[in-house]
Structure 1
Amino acid sequence: MLEWILILLAIAAIAAMFGFGRLSGVALSGAKLLVILALVVFLLMALGVFTLA
């Protein structure tokens, strides 16, 4: 998941540099969504609600 976050952040940065505001916004929104999802999964794992086996 971290790989996808970094890829989307790179796409957002490059798109913003070339002036593609909408593409940059979409990539950044996707990255933010994945960060939130990763934090929720980490929190659930830390509390022992479920494990990844």
Structure 2
Amino acid sequence: MIILGIVLLVLGFIFGIHLLWVLGVVLLVIGAVLWILGSVGRPVAGRRYWY
């Protein structure tokens, strides 16, 4: 999710599409939060691991 967010952020910046830029930022933030919660061992939505 973090990588997809970075890709959308870059594409939105290069092509000047504001919607892609906003979606990239949102996905980047959500991915970072889930990554941090997972790394501290806290279950997210009732699951400890997401495969």
Fold similarity call, TM over 0.5: yes
Taking every aligned residue pair, what percent have the same amino acid on both sides?
A: 11
Which structure 1 residue ranges, 4+ long, deviate > 2 Å from structure 2? none
Number of residue pairs matched? 45
The runs of 5 or more residues in structure 2 that have no matched partner are 43-47
Larger helix percent: 1
Between Structure 1 and Structure 2, whose CA radius of gyration is higher? Answer: 1
Instruction: Find the counterpart in structure 1 of residue 38 from structure 2.
Output: 41
The runs of 5 or more residues in structure 1 that have no matched partner are 46-50
Cα RMSD of the aligned pairs, angstroms, is 2.1
Instruction: Find the counterpart in structure 2 of residue 28 from structure 1.
Output: 25
TM-score, scaled to structure 1? 0.64
